[in-house]
A and B are shown apart, each in its own frame.
Chain A
Amino acid sequence: MTVSLSTHAETPLEQKRRFEHGGTTMAAGHRVSLKNLSAWYEDQHAVKGVDLDFEPNKVTAIIGPSGCGKSTLLRCINRMHEEIPGTRVEGEVLLDDQALYSDAVDVTAVRRAIGMVFQKPNPFPTMSIFDNVAAGPRLSGTKGGDLRERVERSLRSAALWDEVKDRLNQPGIGLSGGQQQRLCIARAISVEPEVVLMDEPASALDPASTLRIEELVEELKTRYTIVIVTHNMQQAARASDTTAFMLDGELIEAGPTEKIFTKPDDERTERYVSGKFG
């Protein structure tokens, strides 16, 4: 089972697979592998030769102190890092067995396959709730009843439908912060990705909204491979199956979350998770 990333049109079979994926049944997820991945801003070496696998249908948390390169690492996975002028990536990112940085790969297809939720809720300010979620599917030509159905399904998946179903035409920025972030999650999954990246998705939210996001992450992992960057260690401990610890651009240690938080192999991990620095 592979995801189509090249520019060629989808075959009916591929399309069918993709639609089955968008459904609510448990689907075989997709693995993301980083092979000796390095990233730079101008001369600053922000990610240094990281090898890491993100398991299908698991939540992987990346933790580490500010500036350790965890967000940069995340942005390399869906090739958003290259949108910043003066940046550079080396090494490989694989989705199943496809190299995302190979020349034949269409970058917009990568981003449709690997969705992203940002640190600050960022709904499009001029658009209604409906249009915010519809923006992605519309790019690939979905319209009419299909579009409405897709929007509803995405909002339901993001646990927001019941709160907004009667005011889909109101502006997205009229929602509360936590609702806005769930709207952004709905927007991210509206294009039916295989992997969802979350860059500190709850750092701008209050504790109650944070918990809702974490519950949502738990639900979403039945359908997606999830990578979540967080500087909140409790959150990593609560919400993830696997945890990776980064320091100064290097991956120090990765393993089952429980192990990382109770008996890590590396002494620096131990000091970080016990709050001695960072």
Chain B
Amino acid sequence: MAASAAAISQSGSLRGSPLSRLPDRALRIVLTALAVAILTLIAFFFIRLYVEARPAFARFGVFGFTFNNDWDVSRNVFGALPLVVGTLITAAVALIIGVPVAIAAALFVTELCPRRARGPLTIMLDLLAAVPSVVYGLWGVFVLIPKLKPAEQWVTDKLHFIPFIGGASVAGPNYFIGGLILAIMILPIVSAITREVMATVPADHKEAALALGATRWEMIRTAILPYSRAGITGAAMLGLGRAIGETIAVTLVIGNAPRIGSHLFDQGYTLAAVIANEFGEAANNPIHRAALIAAGLVLFVLTLLVNAAARVFINRRTALA
């Protein structure tokens, strides 16, 4: 107090010198520039993609390109529907398998496991995110595909009455294996966000449930899950975003067949995988190249839509709380 009074009397006024305000001003300019640069980059990226993809869109039409079920490089015909479908199937499988496991893991870490095990478990779960995706892909090729094939065949035989799942002859690489790999890959992020959301459930609500004579599971169902539902949905959407965009691991296990597979255990293709695989050979074929970039644009839009949906869910949650 005395020191600042002395500083004021020394400078003679309460106004700081222009020099003393400089760091704040510089900081603001630098941060603003960086923020603008990021937005510009995204905009430029989008425009550039569109320009490069235009020959494909001009030949097949935006809707024709996206929704035609015919991708044939030899005839120079490019309709991306098999890729879009493959992307959606693998991502859906990833969510169906990955999200329940992620929620279970988050519940275990926040509510059930001994306090001492909490830290190490969390770190291990997060470490799943540090494994390079190509390693997941190779593991899928050399372990999952051969080891799971009999099990997949058993399931499809037993469930022969369910369309799309039952009565198939299992191909080695297939949609299901791709989705399974993706499920493991989205597990860390979905689980981490779910964990954070669950940690914000007020102790008040948990105790209210317990004081009514709820068991631990009933407490989770009464107090924790309803409170975290929106947050978990947001987490799942972010996981979905990741699953849609994942490239290398899926490319290795999806089978790379540019057609809509007839069942869950059939070979297929995804948008990201087709770009990774065909870009080299497309160098000398402008329309092929344009089609691949257009596929990238479709992927980009799909991811944007999913992320926007996640935002909406999370915001609604915040508004509610």
Contact = CB atoms under 8 A, between A and B. Distances in A.
A125 B224 CA distance: 11
A122 B207 CA distance: 9
A187 B208 contact: yes
Contact of A124 (B218, B223, B321): B223
Given A85-B115, A122-B204, A126-B226, A116 B211 contact: yes
B114 to A, nearest CB: 9
Interface string A73-84: 000001010010
A135 B205 CA distance: 12
Contacts of A111: 210-213
B199 interface: no
Interface SS majority for chain B:
helix
B163 interface: no
Contacts of B208: 118, 122-124, 184, 187
Interface in A60-97: 78, 80, 83, 85
A205 interface: no
A52 interface: no
Nearest to B225: A126
B214 interface: yes
Nearest to A113: B213
A150 to B, nearest CB: 13
B176 interface: no
A181 to B, nearest CB: 12
B262 interface: no
Interface residues of A, number: 28
Interface string B78-115: 00000000000000000000000000000000000001
Interface in B178-230: 202, 204-205, 207-215, 218, 222-223, 226-227, 229
A124 B226 contact: yes
Contacts of B204: 118, 120, 122
Interface string B293-321: 00000000000000000000000000011
A12 B320 CA distance: 44
Contacts of B214: 108, 139
A187 B205 contact: no
A80 B206 CA distance: 11
Interface string A95-123: 00000000000001111100110101011
Contacts of B229: 126
A162 to B, nearest CB: 24
Contacts of B212: 111-112, 115, 135-136, 139, 187-188, 190-191
A237 interface: no
B243 to A, nearest CB: 28
B313 to A, nearest CB: 15
13 contacts: A111-B210, A112-B212, A112-B213, A118-B211, A120-B204, A122-B205, A122-B208, A124-B205, A124-B209, A124-B227, A135-B209, A184-B208, A191-B212
Which 4 pairs of residues, A with B, have the shortest CB-CB distance? A112-B213, A136-B212, A122-B204, A126-B226
Interface of B: 115, 202, 204-205, 207-215, 218, 222-223, 226-227, 229, 320-321
